[in-house]
Amino acid sequence: MAASLSFDLRRRVLAAVAEGLSHRAAGERFAVSAASISRWRALEREQGDARPKAMGGDQRSHRVDAHKEAILAALGPERDRTIDEVRAILRDEKGLVFGFGAIQRFFKRHAVTRKKRRRTPRSKTARTS
């Protein structure tokens, strides 16, 4: 993912344009595209400055979080079902289809831990002879 250009650069470019430099000339001088300068000017007009918006982050978790109660109920009373079992229950009983990673991130976001471990082998304390 590309990083946004610094606010300082944006301010200097917009100051040069305000002093009379064309978008194309300012773009060549500061090594940015004229289209970027046009977008920055529009941002400056709309919000008062050309600060870049936040990048990255979660965009779709609200879709999974809307079904929080159903997902937690699908875990069962012992909260020990696997993610695949939870997905199957949600699909068959509720008609909800979520990916493995979506459920995994849901559990991490809501601090749901599942301890499903193998049984330990029996100890050999009994007489062998």
Tokens of 86: 């939870």
Q: What is the pLDDT of residues 92-121, one digit of tens each?
A: 999 999 999 999 999 999 998 876 567 777
Q: How far apart, in whole angstroms, are the C-alpha atoms of residue 23 and residue 49?
A: 17
In this predicted structure, what is the pLDDT of residue 26?
A: 96
pLDDT at residue 85 is higher than 70: yes
Q: What is the pLDDT of residues 12-49, one digit of tens each?
A: 999 999 999 999 999 999 999 999 999 999 999 999 99
pTM, two decimal places: 0.53
In this predicted structure, what is the pLDDT of residue 126?
A: 65
